[in-house]
Amino acid sequence: MIPNSTAARDVAYLLHPYTNLSAHRESGPLVISRGKGIHVYDEEGREYIEGLAGLWCAGLGFDQERLVEAASRQMRQLPFYHAFGGKVPDVLVDLAEALMAIAPKPLERALFVNSGSEANDLAVKIAWYVNNALGRPEKKKIIARRKAYHGVTVMSGSLTGLAYAQDGFDLPVSRVVHVDTPHHYHGAEPDESEEDYATRLAEQLEATIQAEGPETVAAFIAEPVMGAGGVIVPPRTYFEKVQAVLRRHDVLFIADEVICGFGRTGNWFGCDTFGIRPDIMTVAKQLSAGFLPIAATLVSGPVYEALVAGSDKHGMFGHGNTYGGHPVAAAVALETLKIYHEMDIVGRVRRVGTALQEGLRRYIDHPLVGEVRGLGLIAGVELVADKASRTNFDKARGIGAGLVRRAQAHGLLTRAMPGDLIGFCPPMIIDEAGVAEMLRRFDVALEESWSALR
Ligand code: PLP
């Protein structure tokens, strides 16, 4: 590394999230200096398609003058205010109203925070608070799924079902129970239909709730499509059957829409795509197109009424963050939602998403590819060592990571997830030509990886 370069100073001063720290000391960072449309540029000016919209968040790409203007207007008018103690910045009310206009039923109200992790933490606190208010203090366990990604705080990191987010941190904490990942490709028996597999998973959920004691289970949390666990689309009828089990045992459904929200799956929310009626829902990322940190936890009418009862008992609803619902972030989110409406984001994702899904499904016959999955503008290609037995490569070989490095060299940034799953979640402004170019770059990397293995 050149002394005093950005890379050298990065190694000297930064502690990197989700990074192998000793490898990073040797390799240094990829320094990104600017962005435009679906592209970002490194400090040498090399252009990359951002195939994962950064961290699944930059839904409108990397330059949007209207968002810049919304932020600077708000900064001039009211750069900080909060919603504690019954006050409120006016723009936050506008945002809450705009969010409720598109939120799935029966959600009614939102509390704003700064990140998806905080929103999920709050969702759990709300489930606990509600059950205390309803006089059932034992009903506190949360059921999550293996391979789920719900964040990194002590509780959201416990809900996450991925070893890499828990190893060394003494997570998960108690009160969290994990059930199976709903992944037909690996989880189903030979010849088991998606519907039968979904029935079996719902029965397993039922058995878990019975074993734990229904009077101890507060909530079930799920991403409609699992993102960081490997873009896992649930089998047909899964959520319908899961919701029937939850209703029987009075268990709340927390929908984590941090990735799926705001058009990504070809509807406003993943809940719409899968017929989920959540009691609590969390949103972040594309809420502000990633331009500023803002997230929210939404609650249904009955959950809200229980919160009111709890607040009467305790004297207040005792939760809030200094920067939760920050007016500048709220102004940017409000403008983001306006842009989504104007560009008909749902229609656009359906149209361009078809090009992405059809384009990727062409690889299903490739000798390295086991499964291609996804919907709307989120997709994944899973690499396997043996197609017939659906066996993955030994993790230590880093086959997926190698492909991602090659893709980077060809101007495509994406990510390898557990099980050598290559993820695609481009900015939703991408068009058919952008998809074609992204797939061309992926194609070159895939062929290079395949040649290296032969
Ligand atoms: N939930 C899901 C589905 C996510 O993908 C993420 C982040 O990737 C989170 C929650 C956590 O959000 P944050 O990183 O903003 O804390």
Within 13 Å, how many C-alpha atoms sit on residue 69's CB side? 4
Q: Which atom of ligand 1 is found nearest the CA of 295?
A: 15
Query: Cα(116) to centroid of ligand 1, in Å?
Result: 5
Q: C-alpha distances in angstroms, 442 versus 67, 193, 366, 418, 438?
A: 31, 31, 13, 18, 6
Nearest CA to ligand 1 atom 10: 150
User: In tens digits, what is the pLDDT along the chain, a chain of 454 residues?
Assistant: 899 999 999 999 999 999 999 999 999 999 999 999 999 999 999 999 999 999 999 999 999 999 999 999 999 999 999 999 999 999 999 999 999 999 999 999 999 999 999 999 999 999 999 999 999 999 999 999 999 999 999 999 999 999 999 999 999 999 999 999 999 999 999 999 999 999 999 999 999 999 999 999 999 999 999 999 999 999 999 999 999 999 999 999 999 999 999 999 999 999 999 999 999 999 999 999 999 999 999 999 999 999 999 999 999 999 999 999 999 999 999 999 999 999 999 999 999 999 999 999 999 999 999 999 999 999 999 999 999 999 999 999 999 999 999 999 999 999 999 999 999 999 999 999 999 999 999 999 999 999 999 8
CA of 451 to the centre of ligand 1 (A): 35
- 3-state class of 287 per DSSP? helix
If you measure from the C-alpha of residue 365 to the centroid of ligand 1, how many angstroms do you get, rounded to a whole number?
33
- CA–CA distance, 151 with 291 (Å, rounded to integer): 19
Global pTM reads: 0.98
Q: Closest ligand 1 atom to the C-alpha of 153? A: 16
Q: How many CB atoms lie within 10 A of CB 436?
A: 12
Pocket probe for ligand 1: among 145, 285, 378, the residue whose CB has the most ligand atoms within 8 Å is: 285
The CA 151 to ligand 1 mean position distance, Å, reads 5
Backbone angles phi, psi at 226, to 5 degrees: -70, 130
- Beta strand segments in 43-126, E: 47-50, 107-113
Q: SS3 of 138, please?
A: coil
Q: What is the DSSP secondary-structure string of 18-40? A: TS-HHHHHHH----EEEEETTEE
CA–CA gap between residue 83 and residue 119 (Å, rounded): 16
3-state secondary structure of 137: coil
Give the position of tokens 């719900």: 150
Report which ligand 1 atom has the smallest distance to the Cα of 148.
3
ipTM of the assembly? Answer: 0.99
Ligand 1 atom index nearest CA of 55:
8
Residue 117 alpha carbon to ligand 1 centre in Å: 6
Ligand 1 atom closest to Cα of 151?
11
Reference 256, options 102, 120, 159; nearest CA is 120
Report DSSP letters for 378-433, one per residue. Answer: EEEEEE-SBTTTTBPPPGGG-HHHHHHHHHHHTTEE-EEETTTEEEE---TT--HH
**Residue to mutate (ligand 1; options 18, 112, 259; most atoms within 8 A of CB):** 259
Q: How far apart are CA 400 and CA 417, in angstroms?
A: 8
Ligand 1 site residues, Cβ closer than 6 angstroms: 55-56, 115-117, 120, 149-151, 223, 227-228, 256, 258-259, 284
Can you tell me the distance from the alpha carbon of 319 to that of 125, in angstroms, rounded to the nearest whole number? 9
Q: Which atom of ligand 1 is nearest to the CA of 117?
A: 16
Distance, CA of 326 to CA of 100 (rounded, Å): 18
Smallest CA-to-CA distance from 217 within 190, 255, 179, 182 is with 179
